A and B are shown apart, each in its own frame.
Chain A
Amino acid sequence: MRELDWNAAPAFAPAQGIAVEILVGAVLLTLVYYVKTKLIRSTKDFVIANRKIGFGFGVAGMISIWTWAMAVMMSAAQTYTYGLSGLFWFTVPNGLAVIAVIPFARKVRAIMPAGYTIPEFVRERFGGARFAVAVVVIGGLFGSLIEVVINLKGTALVASNVFGVDPNVAALVGLSVVLAYSALGGLWASVTTSTLSTLLHTVPAAVIVVAVLAKVGGADVVWRSVAAQGHDLLSVTRGDAATDFGITLSLGLITATVAGQEYWQLAWALKKKDVSRTFLWAGAWFYPIPICIGVLGLVGLGLHVDLKTQLGGDAAAVGPYVVSHLGLPSWVVFAYVIVVLTACYSVIDSAFTAISSVFVVDIIKRLAPDTGERALFVWAKVPMVIAAAIAAAVVLTGANFVTIVLTSYAIRTAILVPLVLSLFWRRMTGAGFVWGTIAAIAVGMPIRAAFGELWGSLTILGVSAAVPAVLGLLGREQYDFERLKAVKDATEAGDQARGAQAPSASQAA
């Protein structure tokens, strides 16, 4: 193997890292400004893109929204840890989780065409069941907040590793940049910037991997070095990858999409004819991103990168470490940073949009149903600022957000089965939803604490299925799904009642 000098990396200054963050944001902001002036004229445009997202923007947007920064780094990390079995168990369930949404997205769009949020669906389906709605609102808001925090940490990780930027400064700059363009364009901003980001996740990723392989002496060098280490590192059949993280990750990913506001919102925002094929194509063409970037983990293995001394004990750093320490040309390193940053930005902006929808539809419109279009348009941006402030506080104070993570995890996993039953089973009741969720959390979380995530998740899923099933079978209710078709569009209802006009583009601005 060619002798490598791990210190041959170009020396970057922290200011360069900040400049890259701002530059990427400026490019996205320019795109959003165009979108805002041409497409955003009402709260409905802002929150749900007027239900006019087509096939192309749908596929591209969804790929990028699903490509978390940690997904970019974890594909290499799991490959580095378990070999190809790690890449297999990380990647295959990831794309499948997006494709798995198809039957639910199709169904919800058909039975409740004017919907916006999961809590709204639960409220209408169960005649205003307040507790169930409150649980789903909290789960949705916490879930989106976690996405913001985790991806801010991704921004900080790459900027500090490559450029030596203070992690807090990197996180704050990234947050400000995303907040600026998200508040300007809402869901249209999220989808169009994500479309650009998808290009930046794919082509640069290919160039980076080819450059890395060339730098270390070719694919042959890496492959033979990994093969020589044994441990079935070049096989996808290692059982420990499945048991250590694969099965649990699969459950978590499916919960994140099927019970995730971001995906329900997209289901309602897409043109009707494009719903199914958009989720299929997005899931299918998401796959190449982790498959490509996972090669960096093999390079780390092949070069015997040391977990403790070189990666500080964090396998997620293997990608940034390999790319920034091989002595690659600066532009290749910058390209890698852009791949990670755009992944962070696209997830954060979609989380902001999801938070905005829940706030407008399930809080403002419930507390003040007569809120006019202009006021609603302003209110739609407030939760983004609040979420950004909370996320910044969590990152800056170094607060332990385990409680938020656990709460969100418990609620999302516990509502998964009741939500699915609500969509497809006429006998599903509000009591079944509430008690199924409560019992699942009450029983499952202690088991999770005692026996680990896998048994905890399986218990939560089992209890949340059993309780509604029993209550539904005991009861005599037969819900008529046709009733959901009569649900009025939440952001239009107030205006219709008041006879108000939507503001013009300039007024809305």
Chain B
Amino acid sequence: MSLELVSAGTAVTASIGVVVAYFYLAQMGRALARAVRTREQVDRGEDRYRFGFVGAVVAVAGSASAIAAYGAGPALLYLGPALAVASSVAVAYCLRQEATES
């Protein structure tokens, strides 16, 4: 059986991950509670979002750049894990928006 110790970098990433996961789950719980609370409310909103095209360009260019960046130097291989954690933060933000919207 392998030694159950990990590198300092892994430990730091895992620690950040735990904090992010806590925040994520808290926002998920809030959003779920709000969904339960407002389940009988009539949905009167309209889809007026205007950033679809610009957002698509930014998202595609950003992802392509991140992949290309891997080829620029070894340290940039850590960009992937950083973005993965950022993805959790972004989704937690979306859940928070859902939980707090008027």
Contact = CB atoms under 8 A, between A and B. Distances in A.
B67 A91 contact: yes
Contacts of B55: 99, 280-281, 284
Q: What are the 6 tightest A-B residue pairs by CB atom distance, in nearest-first order?
A: A273-B45, A56-B95, A214-B7, A56-B98, A284-B59, A288-B83
B80 A99 contact: no
15 contacts: A56-B94, A87-B70, A203-B17, A206-B80, A210-B78, A214-B6, A223-B74, A223-B77, A272-B46, A277-B49, A281-B55, A284-B59, A284-B62, A284-B63, A289-B87
Contacts of B46: 272-273
B56 A87 contact: no
A205 B81 contact: yes
Contacts of B98: 54-57
Given A56-B31, A288-B80, A288-B86, A96 B9 contact: no
Contacts of A8: 2
A228 interface: no
Contact of A287 (B25, B38, B66): B66
A219 B77 CA distance: 6
A277 B97 CA distance: 12
Contacts of A451: none
Contacts of A54: 31, 34-35, 98, 101
A71 to B, nearest CB: 14
A272 B9 contact: no
B77 A222 contact: yes
B43 A207 contact: no
Given A210-B13, A214-B10, A220-B74, A10 B94 contact: no
A211 B97 CA distance: 33
Interface stretch (A102-110, A148-156, A167-175, A413-421): A102-110
Contacts of A38: 36, 39
A189 to B, nearest CB: 12
Contacts of B10: 207, 210-211, 214, 332
Contacts of A128: none
B80 A56 contact: no
**Interface size classification for chain A:** 35 or more
B1 A10 contact: yes
B17 A57 contact: no
Interface of A: 8-11, 34-35, 38-39, 50-52, 54-60, 63, 84, 87-88, 91-92, 95-96, 99-100, 102-103, 106, 109-110, 192, 195-196, 198-199, 202-207, 209-211, 213-215, 218-220, 222-224, 234-236, 271-277, 280-281, 283-289, 291-295, 298, 327-332
A56 B99 contact: yes
Contacts of B45: 271-274
Nearest to B10: A211
Contacts of B1: 10-11, 330
B2 A50 contact: no
Contacts of A52: 35, 38-39, 43
Most buried by A among B38, B81, B96: B81
B39 A92 contact: no
B35 to A, nearest CB: 6
Nearest to B58: A284
A281 B94 contact: yes
Given A8-B2, A327-B2, A203 B68 contact: no
A443 B95 CA distance: 47
Nearest to A100: B56
B97 A56 contact: yes
Given A88-B64, A234-B70, A291-B80, A285 B91 contact: yes
Contact of A92 (B2, B64, B97): B64
Contacts of B70: 84, 87, 234, 295, 298
B43 A329 contact: no
